[in-house]
Copies of this chain bind each other. A is one copy, B any other.
Amino acid sequence: MNEQVFEALGIETLPARLGGNAALKERIGADSSRWRVREVGDGNLNLVFIVTGETGSAIVKQALPYVRLVGESWPLPLKRSFFEYHALKRQAERDPGMVPEILFFDEAQAIIVMEYLTPHVILRRALIEGRQLPKIGRDLGLFTARTLFRGSDLSMPTREKKADVALFADNVELCDITENLVFSDPYFEATLNRHTTPQLDGLVEELRRDRDLKVEAQRLKHLFSAKAETLCHGDLHTGSVMVTDEDTRVIDPEFAFYGPISFDVGMLLANFWMSYFSQEGHEAEAGGRDVMRAYLMETVETIWETFRAEFANLWRSERKGILYQASLFEDRGDPLGAEQALAIVLDDIRREMLGFAGVEMHRRILGLAHNADFETIADPDRRAVCESKALKLGRHLAVNRERISSLADIRATAERLYRETLS
């Protein structure tokens, strides 16, 4: 692997090109002539292969110099693979066991070889099928709290944090995607947008006229672009989580950037709320997914409460960074000062998180990158009913985020929206 000129892997060429790789040979078997290769990339950006040899399997992920979903007309630099690799390394340190093990990284070829997760499935697919995963609420709450706390000035030596800010500041092109596709395009007639038409036309027009909503979406973009608080996963939706009943793994952090602690949490919860509204489009008979809907709402609350509890736990036990130093509080006999600051910080995170959740729900229905929860509802009338409820909750969250004090209130609002068109 000393090629300096990038070359995309293929099913045929992979064994020859990676056959000399010690880490891969050790994991799956040294005889590369017996490797079987399948291409399984179903994402928007990259090549993903499962390579199986005599003693095991591994994932070979390779970035392409363009957006796979769109084609060579939308170039996208290979360096996103570098950021994904560095994010995976940091996440593995900050919450061990929650990301795939990395076996090998080749920066010039933009190749990451990693653990093959089996029998894991993509969480989004499981939720569409109506499957309840018992551990995800707790696992994802802990993952967000640990990675986001430990990547911030609450925990890291600030010299390292600043160097990391500089490193990830170069992930410009992937930030640009989020900046446009999440915060701006959904709110005007951008070229790449699409939505279920004509069913949603009226509501879409209403949202694009909604001054308060547009202002909030841009305030959130302002936070996204300016608040370099911690290393975010950057794309933490249910398609970036692989699960079994016993195991939860977070994958694909190529959008990693220094941003607000609230960002990953908001993106993640938005995808559960969308799953909630999409269930209606997947149930065989009315009410057939009632138990699943209750499970999704409980999972949202579990993620948020676990996040809060673990963040508070780390605040009290690992607050070694430059912020809210113990020398001002605990060391002066004022632990309540630290508790007061924690309450304010968590309050700020909640208010921002709800805003990010709101715009994520919009962009998945109005923008370029839709999600399978809704897309797999074949009947457009039925799909539009689900999508319109998600759009309305998104608007409610984005505009009223400063005034919503509890997740229980959101559950009540969502349940009311769900019942809107029933009977």
Contact = CB atoms under 8 A, between A and B. Distances in A.
Given A228-B228, A332-B208, A340-B215, A158 B179 contact: yes
Bin chain A's interface residue count: 35 or more
Contacts of A323: 218, 221-222, 225
A159 B328 CA distance: 38
Contacts of A240: none
Contacts of A153: 222, 225-226
Q: Give the number of times this chain occurs in the complex, counting copies.
A: 2
Contacts of A227: 226-228
A337 B184 CA distance: 14
A147 B327 CA distance: 35
A340 B211 contact: yes
A184 B336 contact: no
Contacts of A327: 184, 188, 190
A218 B334 CA distance: 14
A328 B184 contact: yes
Contact of A322 (B190, B214, B221, B324): B221
Contacts of A166: 165-167, 169-170
A229 interface: yes
A125 interface: no
B175 A169 contact: no
The 9 residue pairs across chains A and B that have the minimum distance between CB atoms = A166-B166, A166-B169, A226-B229, A211-B337, A228-B228, A218-B324, A162-B169, A215-B341, A153-B225
